[in-house]
Structure 1
């Protein structure tokens, strides 16, 4: 039997937390091991429980989700953090992702999507609403200057740059494989090498990197 994914919920609405907890705890492979009503309390709960994943609201009293996420991700063996937001194009959620969060979920997501997203992030893929993440950063990039492209990008092969561009545009491994006449396993290998060369953790961070440096 696979290990249970241990989750902490951080949100200032008790009723919302109760609903999410009920959905997660209904699954044999998921368990809510702690709850908090603000970012500061969330940090304490994370340190006490050492979860695999944190579902983090953005707007909360005492300490907001942005500051809490940044502090949690500085911890040794930090859990993955998924930001909860009410709006599709939420610049606060974008800043959390730029700070290392593994993606964002809308608070009114269907339960099935929530469960799938939690499992996906825990597995390391972090492909949460890839198109929404892409649209979010495109929206933000419209009025802002991009940063210089890091030297590490030059280490990518021509093929890896092609795969990078397709992944940054929101295509899944299966879609890239079909488009480039490759196997999914080959695409996965390319993505893994790209992430390693660019020191990125997951696909969401790849999208952030692409928009931050004007590569899409």
Structure 2
């Protein structure tokens, strides 16, 4: 009797939260939970065995991460839509999930209604990003042009050093850069020192002027 229903596999290592999600889907007329898994290897096995339409996947799982489990599942069964539902809120995890083949990324603060809508949407082939995530994805791609300009103008800098230079030239201070890039302030200082050396500048003001002359990191970008 489930031919017309969207079949869901729920993957989360916290039993209470996992069962809560099962309850959410039990109330949704278009969806049916066909299985659950508590770790990465179990998720891969159950996805292969059950062939669900949607896998609701946490990122932080024992033994095998949700990102790696997603990659394995999608590689073996491209028709399965993986929807990430996690507490992990950083751009590295979002893009790692997308590269692994996930079709959506929600944070665990999402409402039951949002989770159900997202599951239906990814099953239909849409890409879904939760509140705050979508803006980050758009900002990332809109910044591609700037990253390209910095790579062309400053080829001696590493990719990370170009990121730091762009943030400096956009008016960010060291603490802000550290938060943005998820690194320590000491690491930021090291990157800045390397940038000064490679660009042959004496201080931050000279580095900013040089970057802005190249069209990188205008203040109105922040």
TM-score over 0.5 for the alignment? yes
Closer/same/farther in 2, CA of residues 2 and 68 from structure 1, 3 Å limit = closer
What TM-score, normalized to structure 1?
0.60
Pick which of 89-98 and 8-17 moved more: 89-98
Match of 1:24 in 2: 25
Pick which of 48-57 and 79-88 moved more: 79-88
Unaligned stretches of 5+ residues in structure 2: 149-222
Structure of larger gyration radius: 2
Match of 1:69 in 2: 70
Closer/same/farther in 2, CA of residues 11 and 116 from structure 1, 3 Å limit = same
Query: Aligned runs of 1:1-216 on 2, under 5 Å?
Result: 3-129=4-130, 132-136=133-137, 138=139
How far residue 139 of structure 1 moved from its aligned partner, in angstroms, is 5.5
Q: Tell me the alpha carbon deviations over residues 92-123 of structure 1, each in whole angstroms, 9 at most, x when there is no partner.
A: 23211122110201112111111111111112
Paired with 2:106 and 2:98, the residues of 1 have a C-alpha distance of 11
Paired with 1:89 and 1:139, the residues of 2 have a C-alpha distance of 12
Paired with 1:60 and 1:141, the residues of 2 have a C-alpha distance of 32
Closer/same/farther in 2, CA of residues 25 and 70 from structure 1, 3 Å limit = same
Larger RCO, structure (CA 8 Å, separation 6 or more) = 1
State how many pairs are aligned. 146
Unaligned stretches of 5+ residues in structure 1: 147-216
Match of 1:188 in 2: none
Asked if 2 retains the 8 angstrom alpha-carbon contact of 1:53 and 1:82, the reply is yes
Closer/same/farther in 2, CA of residues 13 and 90 from structure 1, 3 Å limit = farther
How far residue 3 of structure 1 moved from its aligned partner, in angstroms, is 1.1
Q: Tell me the alpha carbon deviations over residues 34-64 of structure 1, each in whole angstroms, 9 at most, x when there is no partner.
A: 1111111100001111100001100111100
Paired with 2:131 and 2:76, the residues of 1 have a C-alpha distance of 26
Closer/same/farther in 2, CA of residues 89 and 76 from structure 1, 3 Å limit = closer
Closer/same/farther in 2, CA of residues 123 and 140 from structure 1, 3 Å limit = closer
